Structure formats: C-alpha cells, structure tokens
C-alpha cells in the first residue's frame, strides 16, 4: 500500500465529511441520507490512517495486496448505494404518477363543487 | 380563474353564513393512519366535550375507510394523497396551523390513547414556565416497567441526558404542546420531525422543554405503528440523530 493511496483515501474522506457538514448546515439534506456518507468517510479515514487494518483484513480474506482490499471495499459501498438509489428512484416515480393523478382528480372534484355552488 | 372563484366562495361563506375555520387559539392535530375504529372515539369526544379547542384530523393516506368516516361525520380533516409517515403528517398539520395563525398546537395520537383533559394543565404549565414545548409524560412520577420497549426509551433518555444535560423521562410520548415559534420551526424547517432527536437539538438551541404527568389509556382497537424491525430502525435513527447528527447542524436562533 503506497503513501499516495493513503493520502488519496484521507483526502477523499476529509473532503466528503466537509461537504456533508456543509450540506447539513445549509439544511439541504435529510438525516437519513447523511448516515451512509459519514460512515463511509470514517471507514476511509481509518483505512488511510492505519494501513495495518487493511493488511490484516486482506490476509484474512485472501487478497493479494492491501490496495486490492481497499478497492473491493469501495466497490461494495458504491454497489450498495446504487442499489438503494435505484429502489428509491423506482418508489419515487411510482409516487409521482400517483400524485399527479390524485391532483387531477381533486381538481376535477373542486371544479364540480364550485359549479354546483354557482348554479344554486 | 379557479382561485378567484374559491376566494369568492370563501368570502361568501365567512361573511354571510358566519362560518369560520378558526374559532380558538389552540389547534389539536390528530394524525390518523388506518384508525377507522378509533378516530370516531377521539374526534367525537373532542367535539362534544372540548369545543374550546379546534382540531384537525390528518388522514395519512390510510388504506382503510378512515377518510370515509371523516367525510360522513363532517370532521375537519386534511387528506394526504399518499402515506408520508408520522413526521410528514404532523408537518402538514403544523403548516395548516401556521397558515391560520394558531398560537398553540397540541399533537395527540389518533388511537384514543391520550385524554384531552390534560391539555388545559399543559397549557397552564407552558404559560407559567414560559416553555416552548410541554410533553405529556407517563413517567414523571411513576417508574417505567421493565420491557424491551422501555429499555429503548431509557437508552434514548440517557443519550439525551449526556448531550443536553436535561432528563426527559418520556421522550417518545406522542402528546405534546407547542407554542407559536415551534409551529413555524416544525412546519417549515428541514430535519424537524416530531421525535426525540429534534427535542435534543432544540434544547441545545436554547428552547425550554418540560414535561408533566399525564395518564394514558391502552390502545383498544387496531395495531401499533411500530413493528419490531421498525422499532430497531427507529432506535438507530434516534441514536444517530442525538449522538452524531445534531452536532453537525447549524444552531440558529429559533
């Protein structure tokens, strides 16, 4: 594991934490969505600062080098994130079509009521 | 064109029929998700015995006939087109309260667990102590029973105590009284769910929050909102919110 990789990991972690805090302070992100990124950033920070952790883990899991282990971990995280985003997106599209239909129905109901009141 | 017509009809109703939406300074928000068996008990009790308070039922996209019951009995209700969960339902209630200029909001559950007779006590306590939120608590004078649920409640209580220095015994109580500035905060700010993590954050922002003893009935009909996996999720959410997330938020004036 090279020093450059470690520096990359630490910078990435620090930047993502700073960015997250910035978003949270601007009240632009929900609590539920921050947990993943804070957790990931802390993981990367640990891996960057203590390389022995990734040496130990790659020994146990049978990776040829520690950097392979780190790439594997990152791929896992990204895979999980894409999976959840895809599920959420599917939900949202469904909700969106229901909402538009509801809106049209309620508008129609309202218009009919108003016409009724006007006629009477 | 439609807006103009609505305004006109509203005007006619208010000035010629003497009909107003707002008769009191206090609004009771009743979130209802699949509460067809209970909602009549709750609202009829309010309309017969507590006419001094206004109320609004928030139908949170129920799949049973909660909405039909509200319509048939002529209740004052908001109908959310889909299920948002408790936080979203309460939020629409707060926005309704803000738009009509209510001074106090009481949140009670739609399952008839909370008795509205304590509202006047809570109101007195709030005015006396100049509080922002008064929580109707089961455990001010009484001890908690030993169960997994109470263990969770204790865990949240302790983490709130560590981070705020204040002990709130019944953090998950669904009966709360809010004042005007809380109505605005809860209705319009991000990450202001009606949950313990928000309470902890508010205490650290300088809000005054107290609790007084109330008695609660057990749920008679229907099932609770929280299943086991939901409870676990809820616990993780709360502990993360209290122990980590609140330190990253901007402490503003309220």
The reply to whether B63 touches chain A by the CB within 8 Å rule is: no
- Give B223 or B104, the one with higher predicted confidence: B104
In chain A, % of residues over pLDDT 90: 36
Q: What pLDDT was estimated at residue B174?
A: 87
Task: State the pLDDT confidence band at A23, using cuts at 50, 70 and 90.
Answer: confident
- Give A82 or B150, the one with higher predicted confidence: A82
Residue to substitute from B9, B190, B230, interface A, most A β-carbons within 10 A:
B190
CB A113 within 8 A of CB B5: no
B249 contacts A102? CB cut-off 8 A = no
pLDDT over threshold 90, residue A29: no
The reply to whether A30 touches chain B by the CB within 8 Å rule is: yes
The reply to whether A20 touches chain B by the CB within 8 Å rule is: yes
pLDDT over threshold 60, residue B176: yes
Beta strand B104-107 pairing with B54-60: unpaired
CB B140 within 8 A of CB B213: yes
pLDDT over threshold 80, residue A120: no
Residues A52-62 have a mean pLDDT of 89
DSSP chain B: -HHHHHHHHHHHHHHHS---S--SSEEEEEEESS-TTTHHHHHHHHHHH-TTSEEEEEEES-SSTHHHHHHHTT--EEEESS---HHHHHHHHHHHHHHHT-SEEEE--TTS-B-GGGHHHHHHHHHHHT-SEEEEES-SSSPPP-SHHHHHHHHHHHHHHHHHS---S-TT-S-EEE-HHHHHHHHHSTT--SSHHHHHHHHHTT--EEEEE--BPPP-SS--S--HHHHHHHHHHHHHIIIIIHHHS-----
Q: Which of A30, A98, A107 sits opposite B82 (nearest CB)?
A: A98
Q: How far apart are CA B201 and CA B199, in angstroms?
A: 5
Residues A49-77 have a mean pLDDT of 89
The reply to whether A114 touches chain B by the CB within 8 Å rule is: yes
> Which residues from A are below 8 Å from B78, CB to CB?
none
The CA distance from B139 to the nearest CA of chain A, in Å, is 29
CB B187 within 8 A of CB B105: no
B241 contacts A31? CB cut-off 8 A = yes
Q: What is the pTM of this model?
A: 0.86
Q: What pLDDT was estimated at residue A28?
A: 82
Task: State the pLDDT confidence band at A24, using cuts at 50, 70 and 90.
Answer: confident
Residues B47-56 have a mean pLDDT of 91
Q: Which of B81, B245, B250 sits opposite A34 (nearest CB)?
A: B245
Task: State the pLDDT confidence band at B222, using cuts at 50, 70 and 90.
Answer: low
- The interaxial angle of helices B148-164 and B228-240, nearest 10 deg, is 10
In chain B, % of residues over pLDDT 90: 50
- Tell whether the torsion through CA atoms of B45, B47, B49 and B53 is positive or negative: positive
Chain mean pLDDT for chain B: 87
In chain B, % of residues over pLDDT 70: 89
Residues A14-36 have a mean pLDDT of 88
> Which residues from A are below 8 Å from B5, CB to CB?
114, 118
Q: How far apart are CA B188 and CA B195, in angstroms?
A: 16
Q: Which residue in this structure is represented by tokens 């109101």?
A: B123
The reply to whether A99 touches chain B by the CB within 8 Å rule is: yes
Q: What pLDDT was estimated at residue B133?
A: 94
| Structure confidence by residue, pLDDT tens digits, B9-48 | 666 666 665 556 788 899 999 999 988 888 999 999 999 9
A117 contacts B2? CB cut-off 8 A = no
Task: State the pLDDT confidence band at B103, using cuts at 50, 70 and 90.
Answer: very high
Task: State the pLDDT confidence band at B220, using cuts at 50, 70 and 90.
Answer: low
The reply to whether B252 touches chain A by the CB within 8 Å rule is: no
**Across A33-37, A96-100, B129-133, B140-144, least confident range:** B140-144
DSSP B200-214: HHHHHTT--EEEEE-
Q: What pLDDT was estimated at residue A67?
A: 86
Residues A49-62 have a mean pLDDT of 89
Residues B212-231 have a mean pLDDT of 77
Q: How far apart are CA A14 and CA A38, in angstroms?
A: 10
Q: What pLDDT was estimated at residue B224?
A: 64
pLDDT over threshold 90, residue A93: yes
A117 contacts B9? CB cut-off 8 A = yes
Residues B94-110 have a mean pLDDT of 92
| Structure confidence by residue, pLDDT tens digits, B56-83 | 999 999 999 999 999 999 899 999 999 9
B2 contacts A114? CB cut-off 8 A = yes
Residue B104 has which token pair? Answer: 């106090």
| Bridge partners of residue B104, in order along the sequence | B26
The reply to whether A24 touches chain B by the CB within 8 Å rule is: yes
């Amino acid at each position: 594991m090279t020093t450059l990789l470690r520096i990359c990991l630490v910078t990435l972690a620090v930047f993502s934490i700073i960015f997250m805090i910035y978003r949270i302070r601007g009240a632009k992100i929900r609590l539920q969505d921050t947990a993943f990124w804070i957790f990931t950033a802390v993981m990367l920070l640990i891996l960057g600062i203590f390389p022995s952790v990734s040496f130990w883990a790659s020994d146990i899991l049978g990776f040829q080098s520690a950097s392979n282990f780190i790439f594997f971990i990152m791929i896992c995280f990204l895979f999980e994130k894409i999976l959840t985003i895809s599920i959420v997106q599917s939900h949202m599209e469904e909700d969106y079509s229901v909402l538009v239909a509801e809106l049209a129905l309620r508008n129609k109901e309202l218009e009919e009521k108003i016409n009724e009141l006007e006629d009477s | 064109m439609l807006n103009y017509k609505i305004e006109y009809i509203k005007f006619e109703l208010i000035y010629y029929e003497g009909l107003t939406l707002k008769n009191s300074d206090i609004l009771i928000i009743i979130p209802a998700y699949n509460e067809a068996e209970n909602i009549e008990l709750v609202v009829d009790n309010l309309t017969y015995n507590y006419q001094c308070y206004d109320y609004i039922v928030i139908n949170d996209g129920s799949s049973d006939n909660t909405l039909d019951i509200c319509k048939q009995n002529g209740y004052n209700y908001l109908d959310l087109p889909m299920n948002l969960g408790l936080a979203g339902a309460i939020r629409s209630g707060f926005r309704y309260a803000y738009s009509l200029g209510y001074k106090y909001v009481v949140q009670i559950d739609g399952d008839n667990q909370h008795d509205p007779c304590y509202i006047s006590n809570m109101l007195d306590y709030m005015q006396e102590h100049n509080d922002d939120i008064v929580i109707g608590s089961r455990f001010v004078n009484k001890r908690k029973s030993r169960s997994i649920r109470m263990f969770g409640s204790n865990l949240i209580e302790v983490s709130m105590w560590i981070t705020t220095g204040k002990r709130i015994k019944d953090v998950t109580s669904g009966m709360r009284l809010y004042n005007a500035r809380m109505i605005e905060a809860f209705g319009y700010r991000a990450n202001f769910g009606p949950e313990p993590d928000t309470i902890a954050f508010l205490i650290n922002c300088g809000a005054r929050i107290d609790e007084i003893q109330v008695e609660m009935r057990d749920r008679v009909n229907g099932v609770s909102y929280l299943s086991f996996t939901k409870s676990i999720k809820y616990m993780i959410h709360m502990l993360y919110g209290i122990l980590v997330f609140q330190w990253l938020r901007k402490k503003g004036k309220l």
